[in-house]
Chain A
Amino acid sequence: MKSSLISLTVGSAITLIAGAVSAGTLDTVKSKGFLQCGSNTSLAGFGQPDPQGNWKGLDVDFCRAVASAIFNDPTKVKFTPLAAKDRFTALQSGEIDALVRNTTWTLSRDTTLGAFFGAVNYYDGQGFLVRKSMNIKSALELNGATVCVQQGTTTELNLTDYFRANKITYKPVVFAGSDETLKAYDSGRCDAYTTDASGLYAERLKLTKPEDNAVLPEIISKEPLGPAVRQGDDQWANIIRWTHYAMVTAEEQGVTTANVDEMLKSTNPDIKRLLGTEGKFGEGLGLKNDWAYQIIKNVGNYGESFERNVGAGSQLKIARGQNGLWSKGGLQYAPPIR
């Protein structure tokens, strides 16, 4: 009798929906009036809500940038906090429009999970956190150590690979949540804690005595973190990809939130194309021509976002390093807007 009720609801829902043609993600987002972003449940610097529910972080800024490009309004975005486990299901099912949740771009995720990675907004690598009292100088000394690791991430696999490649052993303690993982390390259950290096700095702050713990020099993996969208929607993928490149280009050209209005008068053709005073590049994306202007005005360029959330202006104090502009020895390189 109950099942009949369910199927009744399901059935009627289906008949209601059946008429709706599956439209492109951009159209769906426009008709909804907001962007649904899959975010981290809580990772300092990347995506974290404060007790009032205001989200902050590098990934959050990216979502706000996309919302600015579409709606001229960085607040037209809603965040769905996702566990590592259900992020791709959420993307596949269409629950979220974009997955911006410090997610590593890998081949199998491109091929078997139906995800499409547009760009890399943070170059990361996996590292280890250990107690200074253990007097460990290198990850190679971790033979026989117990390592706390979060379940369901590339982290778990990299860890295995690294120890296998170096022919040393370890004992894993695998937790579903990042808090429990860190908590177990803090209480001494594990000798080492491993996650992406960016995360290590953020997580270290939450330890009882942050100053008693050190990050080991080894980075054992490549973790290009970036926004992902569903496969098969090229227009939407382009918007995501070029939102990032617009932010990087703006930094290259020295366009910031503060000076973007002045820059509208700039004669530099690169800046003119970026801000939409020359050419119709925005229309090609299905957006307005001032899309990049809106991003920079509302969110800022890549460098500003980086400094504010994870760099010198934040608690994390992460150096630009690999995430610097290509012209300054980093890996952030934007294809030209033309």
Chain B
Amino acid sequence: MSNSVSTNSPSVSFIRKESTQALPPPIRATGALAWIRDNLFSTVFNTVLTFISLALIYLMLMQLLHFAFFDATFTGQDRSACLSSASRPEPGACWSFISTYINYFIYGSYPIDLRWRVNIVYVLFFISMVWVLWINAPKRAWGAISFFIILPIVSYILLLGAPSLGLEKVTTERLGGMVVTFIVAIVGIVVSLPLGILLALGRRSNLPIVKVFCVIFIEFVRGVPLITVLFAANFMLPLFLPPDLNPDRLLRALVAVVLFSAAYMAEVVRAGLQALPKGQYEGANAMGLSYWQSMRLIILPQALKATLPNIVNSNVALFKDTTLVSTVGIFDFVNTLQASFKNPDWATPVTSTTGWLFAAAFYFVCCYSMSSYARTIETRLAIADKR
């Protein structure tokens, strides 16, 4: 059979009569290996880069792991455990120092038997923050009220005491550590947002004088470093106010932080206002709404929603900036950390490095969760916009 065919039509002799064995699927098109080749070794240049960065990561990670874990001290009553010894010439982090001082970092020098009050504030803070930030949470409006109104009032009463309610008074000097860090951050966020909205509206106002004042304020504050605003509030505010009116040192720092972040918030909100189509403004006018009605009901809800990621990011910046209040003598977390380094019982070459690493981790956890949240919201909004 086969012979006859080949003799009959020699021109198609190269046509295969039976199919060959199917090749196995190319191992490198799918699976882990292919992924590695495509993403790590696609070109010579990439291969070199991959190896160099692998080496770098290894070196840095090993250094960090050695310092933070392998060579670290986890138990001990005083510094002797964290000093170098024959068995461990290069001691790593002194975590027992952190665990000794952790209550001081969290509560400052708040009276020990009253610390339950701080705990309540922490819990309340956590609940209302989750409530207001969790998009699908039930009754979010209540969450917002709880965060922006109830939390500040309750915290104020609980932290500083109210003799009429049977709560012993505590002076602001006793507040310290993360409590103060959170107070500065929350007061900054809660007060600077409405102030920032007012400033942004003022900047876009038709009233020329209001506009000029707002522009001057915003540009002035944005043009100078926070540290100078803090110094100015600390040194100059008492001189400018009547001699009998002495704002508390914490209050002065708070004023500086609030004014500073309000100016930045104003610019964030302004961007949101500008991004809104003009039709919305005209529509609101056509409905016969007054200025404040149209802002409250039409403009701000849309503008704020669109800028929510930027508002959160601005709050991340504010949270990081709270560290600067330590330069004007406010006992925030950074300052309690520095104060704890002074204890001769714990003075070692690694104590302060350990402390600062701990602080870096603390701020990272707080800020990273906030900025991740901002990104999630951003994606959600982007999806919503595409519809």
Contact = CB atoms under 8 A, between A and B. Distances in A.
A–B direct touch, CB within 8 Å, in complex?
yes
B238 interface: yes
B308 to A, nearest CB: 22
Contacts of B101: 51
B236 to A, nearest CB: 8
Interface in B293-348: 327-329, 338-339, 341-344, 347-348
Given A2-B217, A89-B235, A208-B347, A10 B241 contact: yes
Interface string A64-80: 00000000000000111
B109 A1 contact: no
Nearest to B246: A95
Interface in A86-128: 86, 89-90, 92-95
B213 A1 contact: yes
A127 to B, nearest CB: 19
14 contacts: A2-B198, A2-B259, A4-B213, A14-B242, A17-B242, A42-B339, A53-B109, A53-B110, A93-B239, A94-B244, A95-B238, A176-B327, A206-B344, A208-B347
B214 interface: yes
Nearest to B346: A206
B113 to A, nearest CB: 11
Nearest to B234: A86
A175 to B, nearest CB: 12
B128 interface: no
B245 A13 contact: yes
Given A1-B214, A90-B238, A53 B347 contact: no
A92 B241 CA distance: 12
Q: How large is the interface on B (under 10, 10 to 19, 20 to 34, 35 or more residues)?
A: 35 or more
B323 to A, nearest CB: 14
A21 to B, nearest CB: 9
B171 A78 contact: yes
Contacts of B341: 179, 183
Contacts of A94: 238, 243-244, 246
A83 B326 CA distance: 11
Contact of B342 (A28, A79, A89, A179): A179
B352 interface: yes
Given A1-B213, A177-B338, A92 B199 contact: no
A284 to B, nearest CB: 27
A4 B199 CA distance: 11
Contacts of B205: 1
B246 A93 contact: yes
Contacts of A2: 195, 198-199, 202, 214, 217, 259, 262
User: 4 closest Cβ contacts across the A-B interface?
Assistant: A93-B238, A53-B109, A1-B202, A17-B242
Contact of A82 (B111, B262, B329): B329
Interface in A1-55: 1-6, 10, 13-14, 17-18, 20, 22, 28, 41-42, 49-53
Interface string B205-219: 100001001100100
A187 interface: yes
A2 B112 CA distance: 39
A93 B233 CA distance: 13
A83 B173 CA distance: 15
A43 B341 CA distance: 13
Given A1-B210, A3-B217, A52-B112, A86 B329 contact: yes
Interface string A181-211: 0010011000000000000000001111010
A13 B245 CA distance: 8
Given A1-B199, A2-B214, A13 B241 contact: yes
Interface in B79-120: 83, 101, 104, 108-112
Contacts, number: 109
A210 B161 CA distance: 43
A81 interface: yes
B239 A89 contact: yes
Nearest to B216: A3
Interface band, chain A: 35 or more
A89 B329 contact: no
B76 interface: no
Contacts of B338: 177, 179
A95 B234 CA distance: 11
A5 B349 CA distance: 49
B344 A205 contact: yes
A42 B243 CA distance: 27
B249 interface: yes
Given A13-B242, A82-B329, 19 more contacts: A1-B198, A1-B199, A14-B241, A22-B243, A28-B244, A51-B104, A52-B112, A53-B109, A78-B173, A80-B249, A81-B173, A81-B329, A83-B329, A93-B243, A177-B338, A179-B338, A179-B342, A186-B347, A208-B349
B174 interface: yes
Contacts of B171: 78
A72 B201 CA distance: 56
Q: Which of B110, B205, B234, B347 has the most CB of A within 10 A?
A: B347
A207 B241 CA distance: 42
A90 B237 CA distance: 11
A124 to B, nearest CB: 20
A183 B352 contact: yes
B210 A49 contact: no
Task: Among A4, A176, A179, A208, find the residue whose CB has the most chain B CB atoms closer than 10 A.
Answer: A208
A52 B213 CA distance: 46
Interface string B246-269: 100100000000010010000000
A50 B239 CA distance: 31
A5 B348 CA distance: 50
Nearest to A54: B109
B275 to A, nearest CB: 21
A10 B237 CA distance: 11
A78 to B, nearest CB: 7
Contacts of A49: 109
B131 to A, nearest CB: 28
Nearest to A88: B235
Contact of B244 (A5, A22, A210, A315): A22
Contacts of A28: 244
Contact of A207 (B243, B343, B347): B347
B98 to A, nearest CB: 14
B173 A51 contact: no
Interface string B184-225: 000000000001001101100100001001100100000000
